[in-house]
């Protein structure tokens, strides 16, 4: 196979957005490796997806220690891709990983202690074949470890050169408001928060988005397509054999209710009127927030990357359409 040469016009179309008050900019669309990059998946398919993403201006690739399956295998796969294709472009990439979920047995393989976070990142760096990651997240709050210890561990990780920036994920607004000042005082401000957010899951709007704005922290939404519900996959009412719902993962078949499908079909009609796919409108809707730095997509084939990138070219939402969308979504709130 010929050596990979990136598309020379890859930066021409993709918008890049600043992450909060930091100097860091991310591509408006980022690629998450939560699914389809594990040891059970076909490596060459993942390779095609990553190449397509970078060729279209996606510079941010998001991982976690437990992504697979098995856990750790997504980092290993991306490490292979770096060595095979992307090593010459390392300084053009933003590579993130996380720790916070169970990775090994015993009391030191989970949550948010300094012991776990440092050890986990060291393992991640080995799997990736890197000296540092660009962003390291604490993946979820730890109810037992003092918040000060977890934040101090993140600051230590940056001071040690293992990461350039730190982020938080799945933190509710009150806890984020406590964590952010600690990190600033330690000289390692939080630059990014990663919550779940979509048209069908708007929990961040009342409190978290205002908290992020107040603290000068960027936001990158995961599951913006509600695990595929906000695509054309389920419009006919059945569960495709190769869908996430069929695999009984985070999306369960019983979540594909008739009421929800009626709303999704109505959203699809609105998207078609705008000249978009449903997925493109759902991504553009998330990106409409001024404080939304990027939106994380998953992809099982390169065509889905092209579809997502096209969402960045969407026309602004008219206020009347946003109001109509709000009215449609209200019964699901």
Domains and CATH numbers, the chain: 16-230+287-315 (3.20.20.100)
Across the chain, what does the average pLDDT equal?
Answer: 94
Rounded CA separation 64/139 (Å): 8
Residue 2, pLDDT score: 81
Query: Strand, helix or coil at 98?
Result: strand
Residue 231 has pLDDT above 60, yes or no: yes
pLDDT at 246 over 50: no
Q: Are 93 and 63 in contact (CB under 8 A)?
A: no
Q: Residue 232, SS3?
A: coil
- Band of residue 244 on the pLDDT scale cut at 50, 70, 90: low
On the question of pLDDT at 256 being above 90, the answer is no
State how far the alpha carbon of 174 is from the alpha carbons of 31, 171, 178, 211, in Å: 28, 8, 7, 8
pLDDT above 60 for 113: yes
Residue 249 has pLDDT above 80, yes or no: no
Residue 245 banded pLDDT, cuts 50, 70, 90: very low
Q: How many CB atoms lie within 10 A of CB 161?
A: 9
* Residue 234 pLDDT greater than 90, yes or no: no
CA torsion through residues 206, 26, 32, 194, sign: negative
Structure token pair of residue 61? 């690739």
Q: What is the pTM of this model?
A: 0.94
Residue in the block written with tokens 């519900």: 229
What is the band of 332 on the pLDDT scale with cuts at 50, 70, 90? Answer: confident
Give the N- to C-terminal CA distance of the chain in Å, as an integer: 50
- pLDDT at residue 233, rounded to an integer: 83
| Core vs surface per residue 190-202: b (16+ CB within 10 A) or e | bbbbbbbbbbbbe
């Amino acid at each position: 196979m010929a050596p990979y040469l990136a598309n020379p016009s890859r930066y021409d179309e993709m918008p890049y957005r600043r992450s909060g008050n930091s100097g860091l900019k991310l591509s408006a669309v980022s690629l998450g490796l939560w699914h389809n990059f594990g040891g059970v998946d076909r490596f060459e398919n993942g390779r095609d997806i990553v190449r397509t993403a970078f060729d279209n201006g996606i510079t941010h690739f998001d991982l976690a220690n437990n992504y697979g399956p098995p856990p750790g295998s997504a980092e290993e796969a991306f490490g292979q891709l770096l060595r095979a294709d992307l090593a010459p472009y390392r300084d053009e990439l933003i590579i993130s990983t996380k720790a916070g979920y169970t990775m090994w047995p015993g009391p030191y393989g989970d949550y948010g202690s300094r012991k776990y976070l440092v050890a986990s990142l060291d393992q991640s760096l080995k799997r990736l074949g890197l000296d540092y990651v660009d962003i390291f997240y604490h993946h979820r709050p730890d109810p037992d470890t003092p918040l000060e210890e977890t934040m101090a561990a993140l600051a230590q990780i940056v001071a040690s050169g293992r990461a350039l920036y730190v982020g938080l994920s799945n933190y509710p607004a009150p806890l984020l408001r406590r964590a952010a000042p600690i990190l600033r005082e330690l000289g390692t401000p939080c630059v990014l928060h990663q919550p779940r957010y979509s048209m069908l899951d708007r929990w961040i709007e009342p409190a978290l988005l205002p908290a992020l704005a107040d603290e000068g922290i960027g936001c990158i939404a995961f599951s913006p397509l509600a695990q595929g519900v906000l695509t054309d996959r389920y419009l006919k009412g059945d569960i495709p054999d190769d869908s996430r719902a069929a695999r009984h993962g985070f999306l369960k078949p019983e979540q594909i209710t008739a009421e929800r499908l009626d709303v999704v079909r109505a959203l699809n009609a609105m998207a078609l009127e705008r000249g978009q796919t449903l997925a493109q409108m759902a991504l553009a809707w998330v990106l409409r927030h001024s404080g939304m730095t990027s939106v994380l997509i998953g992809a099982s084939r390169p065509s889905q990357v092209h579809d997502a990138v096209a969402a960045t070219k969407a026309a602004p939402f008219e206020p009347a359409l946003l109001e109509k969308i709000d009215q449609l979504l209200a019964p699901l709130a």
